[in-house]
Structure 1
Amino acid sequence: MLTLHNEKLKELASRVLAIEAEAVAKLIDRIDDHFVHACRLMLACQGRIVVLGIGKSGHIGGKIAATLASTGTPAFFVHPAEANHGDMGMITAQDVVTALSNSGETDEILTLLPLIKRLNVPLIALTGNPDSTLAKAADVHIDVSVAQEACPLGLAPTSSTTATLAMGDALAVALLEARGFTVEDFARSHPGGRLGRRLLLLIDDVMHVGEQMPRSAPDDLLKNALLEMSRKGLGATVVADQTGHVLGIFTDGDLRRALDRQVDIHATRVAEVMTRQCKTIAPGMLAAEALRMMQQYKINALPVVNSTGKLVGVLNMHDLLRAGAL
């Protein structure tokens, strides 16, 4: 086995990245009318985008299909060999087929061309050979050719697959923008992950309401406010009048400052030591926004007030973190 010095390994890796970066950079000049036509066909699709590819192109095709699907363009991957043995039935007349082949001469894909034409579905081809059979048969051809593979033998698909993947991302993001796909739409495509929780979790899902809210009246003695804080366990109590309008908040920090001033907790009213004009947030907001606000202002509790200024809930930073708002 050939032993390489550390610097030589770094040199080889840097060469690979430089070659692939150059290959992707050259794709910018190929964002032309062919690219626009492909986008139009995909936007007009009444069914799904069916991505075909075999070998390394198949792996890239699977990722492109997944990216399209998660960004608002329904798509799935079909293995050409399986399509030749029954899975062709997965493609309908409402679909758009996108075929990936660096050579443009992949037998398993070429065998499907008559069937695709018979279905009369649009065919988009991403190949490295504009003169190939696949490129010429396609309604739209996007050139993803590269000057060289990053593999020193020139054999393993490296630059070519990177270029195809990047062009697939360009298509997906262009379609995302064209559809007006939002952050909330993206979250609905990822409901089970941390990202989905962060983007879908609302204040209303985690705030303390009703009897769980730590709440005090402005004339309550400080000792009673402390008991309320202790019972509810949120490190704060919201001070509100009889109608529920928030007047301020009393927190652990306010307690420390009051004790520094040697106030009498048995004689002092909570309104005298509370934080007035405290930060509040409206219901229906994302929990992530509440967490950002708490971090910005260095607070651990946040009253939730409705449009009339009335208290409807209380948020605690620890609840937000446990719920996955970060």
Structure 2
Amino acid sequence: MLLAALTSLGVGAAPAQAAYPDAPVSYVVPYPPGGTNDNVARILGKRLAEKTGQPFIIEYKAGAGGTIGAAHVAHAKPDGHTLLNTSIGNLAIAPQLLKASFDPFEDIAPVHYVGNALATVAVNPALPFRTLPELIAYARANPGKLTYGSSGTGTPGHLAGEFLKREAGIDIRHIPYKGSAPAVADAVAGHVDMAFDPLSTPQVQSGKLRALAFFGGDRAPNLPGVPHIRQAGLPNWEDALGGSFFVSVSSKAPADVQARLSALLADILREPETIAALESVQVSARPLPADDTRRIIRNVHDLAAQILDGKTKD
């Protein structure tokens, strides 16, 4: 298990204004190191440590579409000192496909929305197509031949691939990984044909992958000439499939602790430095309170139920 302690090193760090947190905080990343979830946790954990004077210790608990990490937080001591850096798939998607030891709506409480990830339909540049319609035409002519990698079963990248299959009427095969980094690395190496992931953007910029479309936001200034997926021929595309991030705790954590954490995150997510840091890892800050976050989770859950209808839990 890899631990990375994010502590406040600056002498001018603001002291905590309330009892919470009064001890080191375990900040669970439910995927391996190196992915977008990890990057977001490092950015937020550093600022939380600086603002509170307590270390926020990143703890990696990967596997099963993020449900292993989510279950750990759901069953942790409910004092708010164990956080989940939640991706939308951990609660809205994966529990519908995998046997999870928690109820995503009863055992986990989202405290604040962080933002949306900008993702791409990125393919290995050795493949013959340069536009999304060309990919779709190839897939229709070669059913089951193309593969796509995702950060795991029940993740936004998995749902994006299934949504593409449904909307375009094609058959492409899903290859699940235990995180974004290995999925994108295998797309670069040609072991899978494509990936739907925010982590693919730097590989597109370096020429190691080719972006056919982007989604997760209205614009992609760092991807000039790449169309939004709705402009590329899929007008019904749901941008939430780009992935979104929020911070959660056990639902049994005291209400005042949840409110304190929400207030801390709201302040941090308004800081220009934090906004810029998130943009550098392909995430657009979108601070929203708990009620709005719960509505987004429910909407994506219901969309996933429609797309994944008929698939059984492993």
Which category describes the TM-score, using the shorter chain as reference length? under 0.3
- Per the normalisation by structure 2, the TM-score is 0.26
Please report the TM-score for the alignment, with normalisation by the length of structure 1: 0.25
Relative contact order: is structure 1 or structure 2 higher (C-alpha 8 Å, sep ≥ 6)? 2
Structure that is richer in strand per residue: 2
Structure with max Cα Rg: 1
- Name the one with the larger helix percent: 1
